[in-house]
């Protein structure tokens, strides 16, 4: 049996993960990461979440601690989120939080405290393939979180347990109800933890960087309107553009940050034959240049196939069929069947 440090967010998934580890006979200690100290209504990082995690730990008969990693979270997640938007990118802060905080800083703390493994309540699975460990899709397709964990390598995977990855969300809640855990009916966390729904991204970013107005033109260059913040517009976006004179659905087909011009067109105008990607990381060996790949570019998007040309750090995917444009800064993740091979950041 192992000494396991389980990250307990105060939600039902991590609560049941801790319970299953206790049932399996491991020496379990719970820890809640205090990351964001500002205003939030997403359902995580609040005082009540810490209280819920502590209550569950007490009910399970395990120790519980709180690690304050607010400075690290601001540096690696919040500050990067702001600077990426200022640079015209569309970052995924949950991925950066997993990369730098939950699976780096937490593992560092586990090492300092002498724990063998860490565990979380993520809906993803671990599989052994030819002697190497890989992440795989969780059993519940609607809750699968393999996309946001794609950066994990052998060092992290060999120290990790994912106790609820083989379960559906309904199964998780049933176990929590049977054990009388206070988190059994608690809603899932929503959206980005440091963005308040009242003001959204516009207020959050507007308090930290100057937001730039932009003109909106149609596909023949005629100006049809304007937006207050070019930073908040994404290629492929359809909603949130209050412009007149449109016939049929209009999409953002191009964003020119040098002239602050947004171009609208039909859906065909959003399609691209290829995408460039950098910052690639792999669970084990990288794929060979020229390989056929299956890639996903949003957490629950439809996978697309193509061919990859490049190195272990950067490359280009040429799609079998043109795909909707992927905003620079988004993550693209490569799968082989259910297994996650790795991924990177769209350029």
What are the backbone dihedrals phi and psi of residue 22, each rounded to the nearest 5 degrees, phi first? -65, -45
40-54, 224-238, 280-294, 322-336: segment of lowest average pLDDT: 40-54
Q: Which residue has the higher pLDDT, 100 or 196?
A: 100
Partnered with residue 346 across adjacent β-strands are 277
pLDDT score of 241? 79
Residue 298 is predicted with a pLDDT of 93
Residues 265-293, mean pLDDT to the nearest whole number = 96
Instruction: Note the pLDDT tens digit of each residue in 57-112.
Output: 999 999 999 999 999 999 999 999 999 999 989 999 999 999 999 999 999 999 99
Cα separation, 52 vs 83, in Å, equals 33
The CA-atom distances, in angstroms, between 286 and each of 11, 121, 250, 277, 341 are: 35, 27, 39, 14, 8
Residue 243 pLDDT class (50, 70, 90 cuts): confident
**Does the pLDDT value for residue 32 go beyond 60?**
yes
Question: Is 193 a catalytic site residue?
Answer: yes
Centre a 10 Å sphere on the Cβ of residue 310 and count the other Cβ atoms it contains: 20
Is the backbone of residue 265 left (phi > 0), alpha (psi -120 to 50) or beta? beta
CATH architecture of the domain with residue range 3-121+163-178: 3-Layer(aba) Sandwich (3.40)
Pairwise pLDDT comparison (154 vs 197), residue with the higher score:
154
Name the 3-class secondary structure at 293. Answer: strand
H or E element: which one contains 176? Answer: helix 169-178
Give the long-range contacts of residues 113-118, CB within 8 A, separation 24 or more: 113/5, 114/3, 115/3, 115/4, 115/5, 115/29, 116/2, 116/3, 116/4, 116/159, 117/2, 117/3, 117/4, 117/5, 117/159, 117/160, 117/161, 118/4, 118/5, 118/6, 118/7, 118/159, 118/160, 118/161
For the entire predicted model, the pTM comes to 0.93
> What average pLDDT does the segment 35-63 reach?
85
| pLDDT tens per residue, range 166-178 | 999 999 999 999 9
pLDDT (0 to 100) of residue 40: 65
Is the CATH number of domain 272-346 1.10.150.120?
A: no
**Residue 42: per-residue pLDDT:** 59
Instruction: Examine the pLDDT at 317 and tell me if it is beyond 90.
Output: yes
Judge whether residue 245 has pLDDT over 60: no
Geometric angle at alpha carbon 148, from 144 and 152, rounded to 5°: 110
Mean pLDDT of the chain: 94
pLDDT value for 192: 87
Q: Which two tokens stand for residue 323?
A: 């795909």
Instruction: State the pLDDT confidence band at 43, using cuts at 50, 70 and 90.
Output: low
Rounded CA-CA distance 223/261 in Å is: 9
pLDDT value for 50: 94
Domain ranges of the chain: 3-121+163-178, 211-265, 272-346
Please tell me the distance from the alpha carbon of residue 314 to that of residue 277, in angstroms, as a whole number. Answer: 6
- For 236-248, what is the mean pLDDT? 73
Task: Check if CATH label 3.30.2320.50 holds for domain 211-265.
Answer: no
Half-sphere exposure of 182 (CA within 13 A, CB side): 15
The residue-averaged pLDDT of 297-319 equals: 96
Helix 12-23 and helix 47-60, axial crossing angle in degrees, nearest 10: 20
Residue the block writes with tokens 């608690």 = 186
Q: Is residue 45 flagged as an active site residue?
A: no
Q: Which residue is catalytic, options 44, 45, 94, 97?
A: 97
């Amino acid at each position: 049996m192992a000494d396991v440090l389980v990250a307990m967010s105060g939600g039902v998934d991590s609560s049941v993960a801790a319970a299953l580890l206790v049932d399996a006979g491991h020496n379990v200690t719970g820890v809640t990461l205090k990351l964001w100290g500002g205003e939030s209504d997403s359902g995580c990082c609040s005082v009540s979440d810490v209280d819920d995690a502590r209550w569950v730990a007490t009910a399970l008969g395990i120790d519980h601690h709180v690690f304050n990693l607010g400075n690290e979270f601001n540096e690696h997640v919040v500050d990067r989120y702001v600077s990426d938007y200022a640079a015209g990118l569309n970052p995924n802060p949950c991925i950066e939080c997993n990369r730098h905080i939950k699976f780096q800083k937490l593992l560092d703390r586990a090492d300092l405290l002498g724990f063998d493994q860490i565990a979380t309540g993520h809906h993803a699975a671990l599989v052994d393939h030819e002697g190497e460990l890989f992440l795989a899709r969780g059993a519940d397709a609607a809750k699968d979180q393999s996309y946001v964990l794609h950066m994990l390598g052998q060092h992290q995977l060999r120290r990790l347990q994912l106790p609820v990855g083989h379960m559906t969300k309904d199964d998780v809640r049933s176990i929590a109800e049977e054990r009388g855990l206070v988190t059994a009916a608690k809603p899932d966390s929503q959206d980005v933890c440091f963005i308040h729904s009242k003001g959204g991204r516009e207020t959050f970013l507007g308090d930290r960087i100057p937001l730039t107005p932009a003109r909106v033109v149609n596909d023949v260059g005629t100006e049809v309107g304007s937006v207050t913040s070019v930073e908040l517009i994404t290629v492929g976006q359809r909603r949130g553009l209050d412009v007149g004179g449109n016939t049929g659905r209009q999409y953002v087909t191009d964003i020119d940050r040098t002239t602050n011009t947004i171009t609208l067109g039909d859906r065909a105008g959003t399609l691209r034959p290829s995408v460039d990607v950098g910052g690639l990381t792999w669970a084990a060996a990288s794929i060979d240049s020229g390989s056929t790949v299956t890639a996903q570019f949003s957490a629950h998007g439809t996978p697309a196939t193509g061919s990859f040309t490049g190195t272990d750090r950067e490359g280009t995917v040429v799609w079998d069929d043109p795909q909707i444009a992927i905003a620079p800064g988004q993550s693209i993740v490569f799968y082989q069947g259910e297994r996650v091979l790795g991924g990177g950041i769209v350029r």
